[in-house]
Amino acid sequence: MRSIWRTLDRGTVAAVAAACLAVGLFGVSYGASTIAAGFPAWMPVVMAVTVLAGGSELLFFGIVAAGGSPLAAVVAGLLLNVRHLPYGLSAPEVFGQGWRRALGIHVLNDESVAFAAAPGDHERKRAAYWACGIGVALCWPLGAALGAALGSLVPDTSALGLDAVFPVILLALILPALRDRATLPPVLAGAGLAVVVAPFVPAGLPVLIALLGLVFALRPQEKVATAGQSC
């Protein structure tokens, strides 16, 4: 663990700490909201440790609380987590081997992948991935436990604005990548699709539909291949 922190500069460490703090605060809102919906206090904590995927967990509890079947909630959560497949393919070298690979895959999330995808050498990417992944794996369940404990006192955590912290931190992480002209078109296309379909599809599906924006990322490669064939 010491080698991870020695590899990272102060700016990256501060960014990892901010992301983990945001996840913890969001976990408080998550734990409190599940208790307010009538679920037992242990459930969000167990889900936070074993599933470790905030969006899927919120979608699961939201569907069940609205009267949907647990099976439908599980399927919806799995569909939402399909986004982890391209995540894993984009950064397989940071996982390691053996038990470390299994643990590395478990702590894979939006934040850790964002740090691994940031500019830098392999050692920096690997250290940032593990620092953020382990940090989130600790802060998310702790936040959920604290939220579950406080749920009876502050049932409406949205009034505190805790739900806004998480997306703001995530946006700050991806902004540097938007400077790349090859990255901007697929991001804008995916975001536009998600906004358009959000009122018409179940919660969680806009994220999957946004992956269609990756089609725009294929165009530069196709042009290069065509140019090579013409030569």
**Whole-number average pLDDT of the chain:** 77
CA–CA distances in Å: residue 202 to residues 35, 72, 130, 185: 23, 12, 33, 25
- Consecutive 10-residue averages of pLDDT for the chain (231 residues): 67 88 88 84 92 84 78 79 73 71 84 81 84 93 91 66 57 68 82 86 68 69 45 47
Rounded distance between C-alpha atoms, residue 209 and residue 204, angstroms:
9
Token digits for 48? 């936070």
pTM of the predicted protein model = 0.66
Give yes or no for a contact between 189 and 44, defined as CB atoms under 8 angstroms apart.
Answer: no
Alpha carbon distance 106, 88 (integer Å): 11
Query: The tokens 């990256």 sit on which residue?
Result: 12
Q: Residue 91 has what pLDDT?
A: 64
Residue range 98-130, pLDDT digits in tens: 777 888 888 888 888 888 877 777 788 888 888
Helix-strand-coil split of the chain, %, nearest 5: 80, 0, 20
What pLDDT sits at residue 202?
Answer: 67
